[in-house]
Amino acid sequence: MKQNIKKIALLTGGGDCSGLNAVIRAVVRTAILKYGYEVVGFMGGYHGLYLDEYMDMTISTVSGIFHQGGTILKNSNKDNLFNFRMEDEFGNVVYKDVSDVAIANLKKHGVDALVIIGGDGTLTSARDFARKGINVVGIPKTIDNDVPATDITFGYRTALDHIMLALDALHTTAFSHDRVMILEVMGRNAGWLALEGGISGSADVILIPEIPYDIQKVAQKVIDRYKRGSKFTILCVSEGAKPIDGDVTVKMIDKTSADSVRLGGVGELIGEQLRKLVSPVTGQDVRYTNLGYIQRGGVTNAFDRVLGTKYGSYAVDMIARGDFGQMVTVKNDRMSTVFIEDVVGGGKMGETSRGGARRVNPQGDLVNAAKDIGVVFGD
């Protein structure tokens, strides 16, 4: 239902990624130039909404930010205002629902609609604000490319570029020293980054969460290549990869974050195993590199600049139409919408979670193409 919109707000929650500034720019320019809205941006995601830390957004505010990675509004991934971590008068850690404080801040500024940009945790809170009567529009954000209901998220393609360049660089050292080189990349429980990054970077072995691996088969691939005269091997490993009859490798538990489990280290573990299985046979050294946060930053590529623009512009069109409680999606290269509840859970499609995220099809075209050219997945 259309409403009389005069002022909108936006925030960027969760982790950063390339393309966020492109989205911010598109939201602000579309809101001002097309609809004549006022725009305010809350700093540091929900944290800024709670503390009422904000900046007025104008055309000049978003000038020159298009190419920049990260977000001029800053990020925070530790602030669930419906279960906010704080200390009581005795210094004990307690959790309280402080969402009404955020709602009061929106009303104080005369905000008629709120654009929330983030992943599943951020969008879950967006759903909860919508249930409390706030006019919310969601924009999905993650380099993992695993948000249900949309074909692609901005930041993913720029991250792939970083992975490809890293693998290209590792190839020169691997070839020069006859080494086995392992690159661990992000992705959590979805293997898109490792799969497409590995294919584009000519990896010989790609390990993803959707296909549990047998370390013996991985080792045999390395040995077979060596015996054929290819005395180096490149592995691209997703942080969520796990062995057959095994589990993911957990780096740490961060109890201050809504997404407390931090994956990491599986590449190093695989390196240790390959040193025992391969080095005595081939004499090769095995080295491990974790690409880490490099894949989340840097200059935004052309694809993500355009995609971010489409997401941001369409979100403001949704506000003008009154499509609240919904998230922008891309389906078959066309912009569309879906109810946020049907993405994060609690809607007609039923509860979803990371386990129900958009994941790689182990029998899909990408995996089959990789196998056709000799890539081993350890299965």
Q: Which residues are catalytic?
A: 144
User: Phi, psi at residue 335, to the nearest 5°?
Assistant: -75, 140
Per residue in 195-208, is it b (16+ CB within 10 Å) or e — as a string?
A: bbbbbbbebbbbbb
What Cα–Cα distance (Å) separates residue 368 from each residue in 255, 349, 365?
A: 39, 30, 5
Cα 98 from Cα 109, distance rounded (Å) = 18
The closest alpha carbon to 140, from 4, 52, 19, belongs to 19
For 109, other C-beta atoms within 10 Å of its C-beta total 16
> Which residue carries 């983030």 as its tokens?
118
Residue 82 CB burial class (10 angstroms; 0-12, 13-18, ≥19): middle
Kindly write down the DSSP assignment for every residue of 124-159, as one continuous string. Answer: HHHHHHHHTT--EEEEE--TT---TT-S--TTHHHH
The closest alpha carbon to 138, from 109, 114, 156, belongs to 114
Q: Tokens for 27?
A: 């939201």
- Give the β-pairing of 250-253 and 261-263: antiparallel
Are 46 and 125 spatial neighbours (Cβ–Cβ below 8 Å)? yes
For 132, other C-beta atoms within 10 Å of its C-beta total 12
Are 96 and 86 spatial neighbours (Cβ–Cβ below 8 Å)? yes
Cα three-residue angle 367-371-377, rounded to 5 degrees: 75
Kindly write down the DSSP assignment for every residue of 205-228, as one continuous string. Answer: EEE-TTS-B-HHHHHHHHHHHHHT
Question: Can you list the positions of beta strands (E) in the chain?
Answer: 7-12, 38-42, 54-57, 84-87, 93-96, 113-118, 136-140, 180-185, 205-207, 233-238, 250-253, 261-263, 286-290, 326-331, 334-339
Residue type, 362: P
